[in-house]
Chains A and B, each alone.
Chain A
Amino acid sequence: MKKGILLLTIVLLNAIHLNAEIIITKSNRGLFGYKHIVEQQAEGQHRLDCSDPGRMRCKSSLGTIVVSSENGDLQPFELTETQFDAIDLYVENQLLSLNESGNFVYDNLCFVKFYYDPTSDFLEIRIYSIQEAQLLNLI
């Protein structure tokens, strides 16, 4: 019973918590990029899913990405194309240095977590606003 209440509390807290994050996934990359790029925007979250060998770069078609939390309790999180490229390049360099996971604060603007599975060639990058990273006790 106690476990059930605890679980319910966690679920409710998660539901109440309002994200402001950017999630990027890259899977089965080819030598020159990707075939499929799916971009989804929602309040609190922006997703970019890139997959399979092709010639497209895994980047947002919007240029600047703006993420607002669902009820506006967090400041809107904004990431320009240049900032996105710099984060992407940093993560790629980490992978080339054989670091398959890690995190870092980028330019006092956001907190970045990444994870790569070499077996499935799957990379996930999560970018949080500093405010959200603090709320989530990530920093």
Chain B
Amino acid sequence: MKALMRHRLFWPIVALLALVAVNTIARPQFIKITLRDGQLYGALIDIMRNCAPLMLVALGMTIVIATRGIDLSVGAVMAVSGAVALTIIDGSSDPNNLGTVLVAIVVAIFAALILGTFNGVLVARLGIQPIVATLVLMLAGRGVALLITGGFITTVNSDPFSYLATGYLVGVPFAFIIALIAIVLLALFERRTALGMLTESVGINPEASRLAGVRSRGIIFSAYMLSGLLAGVAGLIYSANIRAADANSAGLFIELYAILAVVLGGTSLMGGKFSIAGTVIGVLIIETLDSTILFLGVSSAQSPVFFALVVVLVVIVQSPRLRTFRRRRRADVVPPPVSTPEKVEAGA
């Protein structure tokens, strides 16, 4: 039991289960999943479908954060990829043609990859702080998206494209399947090859891993490319869902929610050890909380207050100060000898 409690995913899972339990007690139909016309329906299925863009973005963010970085530009990349795809579909003679949609998707993802590469160059080649480097694209990206759509909100009616967000495959929302594929592929690449370990080593000590022969630049570079790629796919799902490319509101604040999901999942923003499963749980917590807040009748505009409280709670629980305090109470001895001057000062 103690070993179980000490597992780093213990508290995130408890939080998720508690949220589900509260919802189920408040409205029993929350947990119910019904099968209609070969498609699954229910509040949980809605959460699965709606979480797809955030899930993709948060997965990319996890790898970037593991390298001690951060990617603020994901929301802007989403806006660009949606704008590119819808402009191509809108400009074609037959928006319902599967070929057109495929071309649009490929070009949009390619555009997102270019943006990811741009971030990678700034961080890995030029050695600029990740926050600053990705801030450039966060500012400029939405401008680019607005230019692509000509300043309008491009709307299209394309059934193959909408399928990305609203379609079902063997009864499961297609968007969730995309997210699932991304999770599985990422887990395989990071955990069944040495890539994950190398990524963690770069995050823990870039200089030492470079001396040990790890090609840290390449690993950091590819992390930003991956983040751009996943944000591009997320942008496609988002724009397919609303059937429009809205350069101003597509992916607005998603970088913040993605970072929150990563932190909720137990990955430290200081880089190093990361947990893909933790991020998945973090995303599910956020989406469930969001649905709970909506159910409570709180305007969605006011929901940030709840998220702020969650952030504060989580960071305080994770903070070293509280941990030493707990350890001191448990062991009832003087705290470990790692007391830095910082703590002395803070305690004074």
Q: Do A and B come together as binding partners?
A: no
Chain A: residues with CB nearer than 8 A to chain B?
none
Chain B contact residues, CB within 8 Å of chain A: none
